[in-house]
Amino acid sequence: MHVLRGGRVADADGTREADVAVEDGEIVAVGDLGRGETETDVSGKVVAPGLIDAHVHLMMDGRPDVASATDESAYEAAYRATENLSAALRAGVTTVRDLGARDTLALDAARMVEEGVVDGPRVLACGQNVIMTGGHGHWFGREADGPAEVRKAAREQLHRGADVIKCMATGGVLTEGAVTGAPELTPDELEAVVDAAAPTNTPTAAHAHGDEGIRNAVEAGITSIEHGTFMSAETAERMAEKGTYWVPTASALHGIVENGVEAGIPESAVEKAEVSAEHFADAWDRALDAGVTVAMGTDAGTPFNDFAEIPQEMVHMVEYGLSPAEALEAATVNAADLLGLDDVGRVAEGHRADLVVLDADPNEDATAWQSPESVFAAGDRVA
């Protein structure tokens, strides 16, 4: 048994003085503990759960033009995914959900991490996005048209081992010719996604910027709305009523708007991102007023949105209206619930020992997540 001794513990239950005992990858005790076989002195430090990023793209590396990744081989993409996994883990991210990759890249990455072949956070993945023909992200998604074909495409991902089914309910910023807020999959097609996932109780996620597309996804029973840029007050209220999660991905917009065409981002993407940014703060106000449940996600891999910088999302969420404690909740227990995981997100007995040691209390300071002193994944110190 290894004991982290002398520090404080911070999670969604608050911050308190406590030791943490770890054995066989699991937290076995939290409190005033006796000696362990080995110990780490964390006096003056704070032990918190590892971050959970509910929206990443392992195949992308923050380059200005993400579509250029189509010119790379599957081998190159795998190496990039491996580096992204390592960077996320060093940053204190111990679980990620990949919401769209070429072929089986992210599903394979999940298995490689689980088998110990590569170091990285636990990975849950959707396989390929389900997309209308020519729709947003068509260059790496599974194109499908009509409810029957969409249902088959979703079932293909489940057959491959997908942990979530992801679809594109609207256009997006980074696809040339796509209209950001315009509905793409129809209500019937979105219902087909949900129908396909229902027998296995698999969560669903919808990329959705425009209010009509968001509403279509919510009414279809989609589990989480990704981005939600042009969300109306009425739609936010409906999301709260239905228990639909919101994964805002503030880092994605910031990466594009703050760098711009001068950094090599396609002009059309910058123009769409700038319009989206003008409405994003309003979406936050409406979601928070309605009581929508927020789960942390970054869209890591999009332009200038690096895996090593995932903790910056915590700061963005506070800038948009969450308290540091609410941001912690979004990135731990809320994200765990969204992903269907009941063994991560808290520093509690019976949970996986996915932990970070921080210099400050993240319940009071959202910057505390940056540059963790150490990171533990399933009890092993990895950074």
Domain coordinates in residue numbering, the chain: 2-49+346-381, 51-310
pLDDT of residue 71: 85
| CA distance to 176, 182, 305, 330, per residue, from 76 (Å) | 24, 33, 19, 33
Superfamily of domain 51-310: Metal-dependent hydrolases (3.20.20.140)
pLDDT of residue 22: 97
Question: CA–CA separation, 88 vs 106, rounded Å?
Answer: 14
| CA distance to 121, 167, 237, 300, 377, per residue, from 113 (Å) | 7, 25, 39, 18, 11
Same fold? 2-49+346-381, 51-310 = no
CATH number for region 2-49+346-381: 2.30.40.10
What residue has token string 């495409």? 153
- Token pair for residue 360? 């400050």
pLDDT of residue 209: 96
pLDDT, tens digit only, all 383 positions of the chain: 999 999 999 999 999 999 999 999 999 999 999 887 899 999 999 999 999 999 999 999 999 998 888 889 999 999 999 999 999 999 999 999 999 999 999 999 999 999 999 999 999 999 999 999 999 988 899 999 999 999 999 999 999 999 999 999 999 998 877 788 899 999 999 999 999 999 999 999 999 999 999 999 999 999 999 999 999 999 999 999 999 999 999 999 999 999 999 999 999 999 999 999 999 999 999 999 999 999 999 999 999 999 999 999 999 999 999 999 999 999 999 999 999 999 999 999 999 999 999 999 999 999 999 999 999 999 999 99
Please name which of 83, 253, 58 lies closest in space to residue 173, comparing C-alpha atoms: 253
- Token pair for residue 380? 């092993």
- Token pair for residue 224? 């989480």
